[in-house]
Chains A and B, each alone.
Chain A
Amino acid sequence: MVLVYIDQADQQIKKSSLEAMSYGAALAKQLGCDVAALVLGTVQDNLADLGKSGAQKVYHLKNETLNSLDVKLHSTLISHAAKNVNATVVVFANNINGKAIAPAVSVKLEAGLVTGASSLPNTENGFVVTKTVFSGKAFASIQIETPIKVIAINQNSFGVVAYDSTATVEEINIPIPAASIKITKLEKVEGEIPLTEASLVVSGGRGLKGPENWGILLDLAKSLGAATACSRPVSDTDWRPHHEHVGQTGIQIAPNLYIAIGISGAIQHLAGVNRSKTIVVINKDPEAPFFKAADYGVVGDAFEVVPALTSAILKMKSTA
């Protein structure tokens, strides 16, 4: 069986987990086996709806102490559940939680692990999973040598596939060990779309000249319903908060659309965004290296181009 771990934030199932679900369903079909979802904690979503992303069955360990990440606890419970259902492959979304839990689960199941997988494995001759390496500058094909496999699939690399079915939900009972950490404070960034979950991202660099000029970027993001990001120099000088820094030493993202404004495109920045499906670069310097990595480019003054783009988007939305 392929078992897919369904992850949540604020009791909402994450989009990346639905992608993992569809990946798991496609993998199960390829291997000719069943596929089930595993949900820990309490969620507001209707779990039977996981069938729409490919689950045949949902195992649910309903206990609200499991709503926030405790890697020791979660990895113990997931491995336990995986053994109970004889899972041969356990799939995670390669998001913040999945990245933290999957390696511990692989140890507990004595399973070979590939995190950052970018496509379905090749199972013609063994079990070979392709993953991104060198921060997206290359792919590696990794053979997993163990009978049980653990895979964490990159966000936004395998879309959610719509199935016309509902899953059967079974509540399970596994003894829950004591928590290993105690959460004392939670600071949510209110009203913002988490960068790693966003399908549209608008990002600014030093070309915007100062934090007071971010309004035009925020307006553009708002018109699109996009998350906002920035380059390293911008976060280093505290123009924008650290959690917006995308790049090799910041967050790596792979949205459908990445709009870079006033970012030259240093190799370290590209490493954080080069898996984006479509890249738009707005820069007044036609020699900016970012244009080489872009799908669409606008050579012009951001202070004129960005508000014009926002107006054009609003116009398109009002007539759509």
Chain B
Amino acid sequence: MKILVCISKTPDTTAKIAFTEGNTKFDENGVQWIINPFDEWYALVKAIELKEKDPSAIIHLVTVGTADAEPIIRKALALGGDEAIRINSNSNDSFYVAKQIATIAKEGSYDIIFTGKETIDYNSASIGSMLSAILDLPLVSLANQLDLNGNTATVRREIEGGEETCEVHLPVVISCQKGMAEQRIPNMRGIMAARSKPLKVLEPIEASATTSIKKFDIPVAKSGVKLVDPANMDELVRLLKEEAKVI
């Protein structure tokens, strides 16, 4: 079995969000970079769990990013993963990125392609769905449980107001969220081993971007909290009804 895990580099969840160059560029000054939590905690760890059950499984990691993404790739390799591929581009157009990953996916003929449910920076949730369309594969989105039985995967996914279990034949693209696996911390042996695992760097294939970012804005801050006397909840109800008009 061959598994491809798509990894993205994102700012830490507590990073200060600011922009430079006339609000056209994310300000990377002082930002800590992490593996996108959905990619790391759920997609990658689930792949590792599958390999623990079937040691013949091979896990490849792929990321589209410049050389500064290498520390997070090494961390991913320290958690698990047999080898990594970095496609050398800093594009943030989802279609362009999906095209790059699809090329790797086609060449590697993977049985399962895992993504996180979305990245915490651009929140587009689009790479998994785009991959499924480019590769003409089924997609199970928002998966929170997965069992394999030969060539069939039984996957539980979130739907509006509940959960649904479905069966799907491999190969398949699966976007992972909470419940799929438990977050792990790399151990020393993993960290040492990661140093010698292969990390291939490939130049991107030609693909045209379909979107471009013109500028960023920070939302206007709230004007300030209005405190209500805890002994006067009638007043809070009045404010919600007459001022905020939400109830």
A206 at the B interface (CB under 8 A): no
Distance from A251 Cβ to chain B, minimum over Cβ atoms (Å)? 9
A211 at the B interface (CB under 8 A): no
Please tell me which stretch of A25-33, A96-104, A167-175 contacts chain B, meaning at least 4 of its Cβ atoms lie within 8 angstroms of it.
Answer: A96-104
Scoring A residues 162 to 185 as 1 if CB is less than 8 Å from chain B, else 0, what string do you get?
A: 000000000000000000111111
| Cα distance, A184 to B122, chains bound together (Å) | 33
Scoring A residues 245 to 263 as 1 if CB is less than 8 Å from chain B, else 0, what string do you get?
A: 1001110100011000000
Given known pairs A185-B165, A267-B14, the reply for A104 and B234 (CB within 8 Å) is no
| Chain B residues with CB under 8 A of A256 | 246
| Cα distance, A182 to B167, chains bound together (Å) | 5
Given known pairs A97-B160, A142-B212, the reply for A249 and B247 (CB within 8 Å) is no
Q: Number of B residues whose C-beta is below 8 Å from A? A: 79
Scoring B residues 116 to 157 as 1 if CB is less than 8 Å from chain A, else 0, what string do you get?
A: 001011111111111011101111111010000000001000
| A271–B160 touching, CB < 8 Å | no
| B121–A134 touching, CB < 8 Å | yes
Contact of A138 among B19, B95, B239 (CB under 8 A): B19
| B162–A189 touching, CB < 8 Å | yes
A222 at the B interface (CB under 8 A): no
| A71–B159 touching, CB < 8 Å | no
| Chain A residues with CB under 8 A of B14 | 267-268
Given known pairs A97-B160, A186-B162, the reply for A312 and B133 (CB within 8 Å) is no
| B138–A72 touching, CB < 8 Å | yes
| B225–A281 touching, CB < 8 Å | yes
| A107–B133 touching, CB < 8 Å | yes
Distance from A54 Cβ to chain B, minimum over Cβ atoms (Å)? 22
| Chain B residues with CB under 8 A of A112 | 95, 210-211
Distance from A247 Cβ to chain B, minimum over Cβ atoms (Å)? 9
| Cα distance, A105 to B94, chains bound together (Å) | 13
| B141–A99 touching, CB < 8 Å | yes
| Chain A residues with CB under 8 A of B137 | 72, 180
Scoring B residues 202 to 242 as 1 if CB is less than 8 Å from chain A, else 0, what string do you get?
A: 00000001111111111100100111111101101111110
Given known pairs A112-B95, A295-B244, the reply for A142 and B160 (CB within 8 Å) is no
B178 at the A interface (CB under 8 A): yes
| Cα distance, A139 to B123, chains bound together (Å) | 11
Distance from B129 Cβ to chain A, minimum over Cβ atoms (Å)? 4
| B133–A103 touching, CB < 8 Å | yes
B163 at the A interface (CB under 8 A): yes
| Chain A residues with CB under 8 A of B142 | 96, 100
| B233–A309 touching, CB < 8 Å | yes
| Cα distance, A145 to B213, chains bound together (Å) | 11
| B17–A137 touching, CB < 8 Å | yes
B21 at the A interface (CB under 8 A): no
B161 at the A interface (CB under 8 A): yes
Contact of A311 among B129, B154, B231, B233 (CB under 8 A): B233
Contact of B217 among A116, A139, A192 (CB under 8 A): A139
| Cα distance, A257 to B240, chains bound together (Å) | 9
| Chain B residues with CB under 8 A of A139 | 216-219
| A298–B244 touching, CB < 8 Å | no
| Cα distance, A136 to B120, chains bound together (Å) | 10
| A135–B138 touching, CB < 8 Å | no
| Cα distance, A286 to B211, chains bound together (Å) | 44
B32 at the A interface (CB under 8 A): no
| A299–B230 touching, CB < 8 Å | yes
| Chain A residues with CB under 8 A of B239 | 296
| Among A140, A186, A197, A296, residue most surrounded by chain B Cβ atoms (within 10 Å) | A140
Which positions 158-217 of chain B face chain A at CB distance < 8 Å?
158-168, 175, 178-179, 209-217
| Chain B residues with CB under 8 A of A280 | 236, 240
Distance from B87 Cβ to chain A, minimum over Cβ atoms (Å)? 18
Tell me the nearest residue of chain A to B125, going by C-beta: A99
| A71–B125 touching, CB < 8 Å | no
Distance from B131 Cβ to chain A, minimum over Cβ atoms (Å)? 9
Tell me the nearest residue of chain A to B162, going by C-beta: A188
Contact of B37 among A138, A188, A249, A308 (CB under 8 A): A249
B114 at the A interface (CB under 8 A): no
**Chain A residues in the interface with B (C-beta under 8 A):** 9-10, 14, 68-72, 75, 95-97, 99-108, 110-116, 128, 130, 132-146, 180-189, 192-194, 196-197, 199-200, 224, 242-243, 245, 248-250, 252, 256-257, 267-268, 271, 274, 277-281, 291-301, 304-305, 308-309, 311-313, 315-316
Q: Which 6 A-B pairs have the closest CB atoms?
A: A300-B230, A112-B210, A103-B129, A180-B138, A103-B126, A107-B133
Known: A96-B159, A298-B233. 20 other contacts (CB 8 A): A102-B126, A104-B133, A106-B126, A113-B95, A113-B124, A136-B219, A138-B218, A139-B216, A145-B209, A146-B210, A248-B37, A256-B246, A257-B240, A292-B222, A296-B239, A308-B231, A312-B233, A312-B237, A315-B237, A316-B247
